[in-house]
Amino acid sequence: RGVHLDPDGPTLGCALAGAVAQSAALAAARETLLRVPPNVAVATRWRDSSATITCRGPVPTTMTTVARYEVTAVDGPTVRVRRDVTVRLRGQAIAGGRTVTVTGGGEGSATIELDAALGRVRRVDAETRTTVTVTLPDAAREFAQQVRTEVRAR
């Protein structure tokens, strides 16, 4: 029942050309595949989490996401949901003969519109802010990332 993404399944590896596309596909899946309780009403709340391995440059990085959901409106078959997420990143690899460590975290929120009659997502408007630190043996650099996502059903 439901959709299952196997984060331990075969991966392309971060050094191969398909790794970027694979990471993008996982990101899209995280935005649009939701586990919704069978009976929802305004103020219904639930929580979900996922851990996936993505690529941050040449570094395989475990991304752990905890999402908290709340139904904000029900209008016929249309269900509106607010999602708040917390993201944590951790990864390590040897690149160019040097150990590279990636750590980070962030938060985000989204407004999601579901069609309960058809059992699908109609739209998602999300924004996430993440800070990533890349540590090499001689220095650490911090990067800020802001991602805005818009999904519309056709």
Q: Which helix (H) or strand (E) holds 89?
A: strand 78-95
Confidence (pTM): 0.78
Query: What is the token pair recorded at 74?
Result: 């029900």
Question: Residue 88: CB partners within 8 Å, gap ≥ 6?
Answer: 63, 64, 104, 105
pLDDT digit string, tens, across residues 46-94: 999 988 888 877 889 999 999 999 999 999 999 999 999 999 999 999 9
**Sheet with 45-56: strands ordered across:** 45-56, 59-75, 78-95, 98-115, 120-135, 140-152
pLDDT at position 78, please? Answer: 95
pLDDT at position 70, please? Answer: 97
Residue 16 has pLDDT above 70, yes or no: no
pLDDT digit string, tens, across residues 124-134: 999 999 999 99
